[in-house]
Amino acid sequence: MPYKILIFDADHTLFDFDQSEKIAFHEFLKEIGLEKDADQLFPIYMKENNDTWKDLEKGLITQKELKPERFRRFIQKAKIKGDPDDFSSRYTKHLAHSSILFDDAYDIIESLSKNYRIVIVTNGLKDVQNIRIRQSKLAPMIETTVISDEIGILKPDPKIIDYTLKQVNHTNKAELVIIGDSLTSDIQCGFNAGIDTVWYNPNNKKNTLDQEPTHTIRSLKELLKIF
């Protein structure tokens, strides 16, 4: 049965989140007077941020706790003074206004949207993703955007797919496919929900899950060969 709805992850799949983070963090450091230490502080933040998100996926913390927790860890490891809530608010403000698409993402979504319903499902924070995605160049081609922080359901929980189906008034899972870069979030979510998967794997990483994605691609252009 042919697909009708393509469910895309956002960051690291369509949006260059690494570049957005780098720009936002630099602007944040300018605000707090530590711009000169950017080369030293950015790697520390990235490690603590990634570890905190992993704890969120494991259910060790909530999304509400994640916001200040990543900066609490950053402040501790960087040995600087600051308030985690204040730092989180400042950084989030800059990140929300940094929306950078990967090369070809716009053209590919534009092409696919002519024949498929396009949906985005992201584990991001609503204060960030609401502006970055819903006001991006892709917005007119996206039927709906589901943000985990808004609904309290996080990929890979299959309930986020059930929620998405209700939003688009669709019931047949055989007509869905989820596309994303994260094995533990996007692809595992597809497995858990019983829908087909496309693993976007530009860096040729090893599959660490116990089953294979339906499709694996190295570039977004390969989507045009599948759909």
How many of the other CB atoms lie within 10 Å of CB of 208?
Answer: 7
Cβ pair 107, 125 in contact under 8 A: no
* CA separation for the pair 131, 127 (Å, rounded): 7
Across 24-114, the runs of DSSP E, i.e. the strands, are none
Half-sphere exposure of 37 (CA within 13 A, CB side): 12
Burial 145-159 (b: 16+ CB within 10 A, else e): bbbbbeeebbbbbbe
Catalytic residues: 9, 11
Task: Retrieve residue 8's tokens.
Answer: 């895309």
How many of the other CB atoms lie within 10 Å of CB of 108?
Answer: 19
Nearest to residue 155, comparing CAs of 179, 190, 125, 128?
190
Task: Retrieve residue 38's tokens.
Answer: 């950017």
Q: If phi over 0 gives left and psi between -120 and 50 gives alpha, with beta otherwise, what is residue 97?
A: alpha
Phi, psi of 145 (to 5 degrees): -120, 120
